[in-house]
Amino acid sequence: MGFKQGTHETFEVSNVAMATKDTEYDYVIPNGTERITIKLRDPASVLRLYSETGGSDYITVPQSSSYTIDGVKLSGKTLYLQSDNDTQVAEIIAYQ
């Protein structure tokens, strides 16, 4: 995965450890974020993204895939994450 030069001057890489499957973990999006890409380190697992804690509506990120949210003001928002397998790591890059 390469970094394409654009309007984003800085970025922040984060890892969210997700020890237990089907358990909710949260990630607070850094201030000034305009684009975010997220994926699981393990290509054999599925990631679920929620916009609210305990929510029933979510986006499924299939195995070996990433998900990008671009062109919106995401500062201070929280993403809630779940995986279908234990001992996962969500890899997140937030562009400011």
SS3 (DSSP) at 16: strand
Phi, then psi, of 8 in degrees rounded to 5: -80, 115
Tell me 29's DSSP state.
P
Domain spanning 11-95, CATH class: mainly beta
Per-run averaged pLDDT (10 residues), the chain, 96 residues: 58 97 96 93 97 93 96 86 98 94
* pTM for the model: 0.87
